[in-house]
Structure 1
Amino acid sequence: MTAVPVVSRRTLNRTLLSRQFLAGRTTRSALEVVRHLVALQGQEPNWPYVGLWTRMDPFTHGDLESLLHERAVVRSAGLRRTQHLVAADDFRWLRPLIQPFVERAARGPYYAPSVAGLDTAELVETGRELLGDRVVPRRRLAGLLAERYPGRDGMMLTRNLELRVPLVTSPRAGAWGGWGTRPSIEVALAEAWIGEPVETAPSVEAMVLRYLAAFGPAGVMDAQAWSGITRLREVVDRLRPELRVLRDEQGRELFDLPGAPLAADDAPAPVRFLPAYDNVLLGHADRTRIISDEDRARVMPGRALVLPAFLVDGFVRGIWELRGTTLVVSPFRPLTADETESVAGEAERLHAFVVPGAPAPDVAFA
């Protein structure tokens, strides 16, 4: 029997950085990068821009905004039931795969009471009728639903509809803008916005292969943590003959694409600043390949928060935030003189991106 190769944590780290374009910025187009990453976390409008900036050279705010206006990239409920940016052609297969997980929330204690006694299939048809091929402000849609169903909370009906029907938000919801502010949301039926229906029989195997290309080597639990989809063991077992099988230092089974290279564990890893909620920190069940358990508690302090962080030597070493126009860097432990210089230099470059037109870099260490 052939021995299964064991990969070290540093090899997993360097390989992840390479596949995420964090070991070296890529010259690929913004659309190609979004496709490679499968989905880009987009809870807040500005964060996807930072996520692409840290991975691409060159990248401008307009590169992503134009993709949203051209409808090449859409924003909708995606992985783990959170807002993501996805290439439109990928959304057509990804959303149907995760739809059962998205819709499961509608049966939970927060959403279910608002539709108690209501024929939800009728609600879906009513919502489709009201939207048609139009882009409608969410508050307007809530008002229209409240008129159709007197005595019910129109906004809760809208939220139920969004869980049951693939909707996308207009480009305004994904535009670069003020920090900590959310624009008014407009929604449209995904099939009307994209111009094509979602797929009726998407391949979950294809999703797993796409995941491994950007996040592998990885285990079954990792793929489930990233996607929100459960019971992927049988899917991976079907793919097993096509995959490379590895183990980590704890003996856990990992899978990878057969031709995908593994990075050397001594490969250089430049300082990188990550946006809040970046999937590189959320794409595995075991996240120690990029963040220690101790630091994970600081970056993910509860209430579903994932703070913006920065990497030194490939691993999370602190967090950052924008206070007014000052970019504040907060290391979790002392940095060496060389590390401080590298972090400061990258922070100044980031400041120029997140505060366009600033006369000079404004960076402070907390």
Structure 2
Amino acid sequence: MAAKKKTSTAPAPVPVLTPRALGRATLERQHLLRRTAMSARDAVTHLVGLQAQNTKPPYYQLLARLQGFRPAELSALMESREVVRIPSLRSTIHTHTAEDALTLRPLMQPALDRELTMFRKRLQGVDLERVRELSRAYVEEAPRAPKEIRALLLTEWPEADPLALTIAARCLLPLVQVTPRGLWGESGGVALTTVERWLGRTEEEAPDIEAAALRYLGAFGPASVKDMQTWAGLTRLKEVFERLRPRLVTFRDEHGTELFDLPEFDNVLLGHADRTRVIPAHLKGLNGVGNQNYGSVLVDGFFAAVWRLDTPRDAPAVVTVQELRPLTAAEREALSEEAAGLVATMTRAAGHDLRFATFVDLGR
């Protein structure tokens, strides 16, 4: 009698991704390895929004990703109200499509609730539901500046902390910054109204955290549960990924962290808990520097320098690249071409001067 051959039931080993492999996958997903022919609207949709604490970064983010991008394209979307600026991910301002402003923004309410919690002691005696009602009626009557909202609420609670009242209105309502704020080449102070009033409609379907997780992976994967929590400013997403597990593929990084991804993708900077896939570990203290005072330079897929554009009146534009590690002659030549394209697309300057320097944080 022949013995039965035993079959192995051990699960297949989970692939381990190196930091370089992770970095390449993320940059490909972010359209940062090569520019794509995607429209600005489709890019905002794919990226699930653009960081927009300041008004110019969304334009630079699209310039880095899209072939033939011109600032007027994003401005036109803002003027037609196809995209809006609204506090959402991590309770910070992002540029979202109108659809995401209506359906994604409610999912981020826990992050805004946590921000409001920090001001609870300074809001003692304040009826937050009344704050919501008064603020909504006021900003839906006409877009209002934050100081106007604060003045209105102080008439109701004159002893309350003025800043805390302003924060309460911001966290309790889905407030968009209306144009001309955010338009390229135009100025305008912050004026706020509700997203429903600005868009002339309310959300048509219930927010879906699982759909948001799948979209996140499509733009930022492969990623861990903690990565998405960092990106969104949310907690307790493990159960969401467990529900999605049958629809996903998994990997591990070199530290053993489980990473999830979409099957069709089997193979920046603020979208992951572990950013060493793009930012070298010794530079982690600078990983947010590009959002405010500087732009980020990726060389061979890794953060290697920061740039700054100055446009003095009646003079050539100045592009300053501050190196975080010595750049080679070939890398400097490539940056020279990028700087020329930057100035030609984003300014009216007749020429420019490119300067290289060692990094010094001029904004501190």
Asked whether the two chains share a fold, i.e. TM above 0.5, the reply is yes
For the 8 Å contact 1:169–1:185, the answer to whether it is kept is yes
Following superposition, the deviation at residue 334 of structure 1 comes to: 1.4
Matched, 1:362 2:353: yes
Q: Which aligned pairs between 1:1-366 and structure 2 lie closer than 5 A? A: 1-108=11-118, 111-152=119-160, 154=162, 156-177=164-185, 183-198=188-203, 201-262=206-267, 280-300=268-288, 307-323=294-310, 324=312, 325-354=317-346, 356-366=347-357
For the 8 Å contact 2:27–2:301, the answer to whether it is kept is yes
C-alpha separation between the residues in 2 aligned to 1:306 and 1:232?
A: 32
Structure 1 portions without partners, runs of 5+: 263-279
C-alpha separation between the residues in 1 aligned to 2:236 and 2:163?
A: 33
Structure 2 match to 1:272? none
Following superposition, the deviation at residue 358 of structure 1 comes to: 1.0
Structure 2 match to 1:268? none
Code of the aligned partner of 2:166: T
Following superposition, the deviation at residue 351 of structure 1 comes to: 2.5
SS of residue paired to 2:264 = coil
Which structure has the higher relative contact order (CA within 8 Å, separation 6+)? 1
For the 8 Å contact 2:176–2:192, the answer to whether it is kept is yes
C-alpha separation between the residues in 1 aligned to 2:121 and 2:182?
A: 31
Following superposition, the deviation at residue 353 of structure 1 comes to: 3.0
Code of the aligned partner of 1:329: V
C-alpha separation between the residues in 1 aligned to 2:38 and 2:239?
A: 34
C-alpha separation between the residues in 2 aligned to 1:319 and 1:341?
A: 16
Cα deviations across residues 309-363 of structure 1 (Å, max 9, x unaligned)?
A: 1011011101111244311001112112211111221122122233x12111221
C-alpha separation between the residues in 2 aligned to 1:74 and 1:300?
A: 23
Quick one: structure 1 residues 57 and 24, their matched pair in 2 at CA, closer, same or farther if it must change by over 3 Å? Answer: same
Quick one: structure 1 residues 154 and 130, their matched pair in 2 at CA, closer, same or farther if it must change by over 3 Å? Answer: farther
Following superposition, the deviation at residue 24 of structure 1 comes to: 1.3
C-alpha separation between the residues in 1 aligned to 2:235 and 2:205?
A: 19
C-alpha separation between the residues in 2 aligned to 1:258 and 1:133?
A: 48
C-alpha separation between the residues in 2 aligned to 1:297 and 1:333?
A: 15
For the 8 Å contact 2:126–2:160, the answer to whether it is kept is no
Code of the aligned partner of 1:62: A
For the 8 Å contact 1:246–1:253, the answer to whether it is kept is yes
Name the Cα RMSD after superposition.
2.1
Of 51-60 and 8-17, deviating more is 8-17
Quick one: structure 1 residues 295 and 359, their matched pair in 2 at CA, closer, same or farther if it must change by over 3 Å? Answer: same
Cα deviations across residues 66-107 of structure 1 (Å, max 9, x unaligned)?
A: 111111111111111111001110121211111011122112
C-alpha separation between the residues in 1 aligned to 2:138 and 2:329?
A: 60
Structure 2 portions without partners, runs of 5+: 1-10, 358-364
Code of the aligned partner of 2:18: S
Cα deviations across residues 173-222 of structure 1 (Å, max 9, x unaligned)?
A: 212248xxx74110011111122224674111111100000000111111
Aligned residues: 342
For the 8 Å contact 2:296–2:303, the answer to whether it is kept is yes
Following superposition, the deviation at residue 141 of structure 1 comes to: 2.5
For the 8 Å contact 1:352–1:361, the answer to whether it is kept is no
Quick one: structure 1 residues 166 and 12, their matched pair in 2 at CA, closer, same or farther if it must change by over 3 Å? Answer: same
Following superposition, the deviation at residue 252 of structure 1 comes to: 1.6
C-alpha separation between the residues in 2 aligned to 1:226 and 1:306?
A: 21
Following superposition, the deviation at residue 253 of structure 1 comes to: 0.9
C-alpha separation between the residues in 2 aligned to 1:155 and 1:194?
A: 28
For the 8 Å contact 1:299–1:308, the answer to whether it is kept is no
Structure 1 length-normalised TM: 0.88
SS of residue paired to 2:322 = strand
Larger radius of gyration: 2
- Residue identity over aligned pairs, in percent, reads 40
Cα deviations across residues 52-78 of structure 1 (Å, max 9, x unaligned)?
A: 111111111111111111111111111
C-alpha separation between the residues in 1 aligned to 2:97 and 2:136?
A: 23
SS of residue paired to 1:84 = strand
Following superposition, the deviation at residue 261 of structure 1 comes to: 4.6
Structure 2 match to 1:270? none
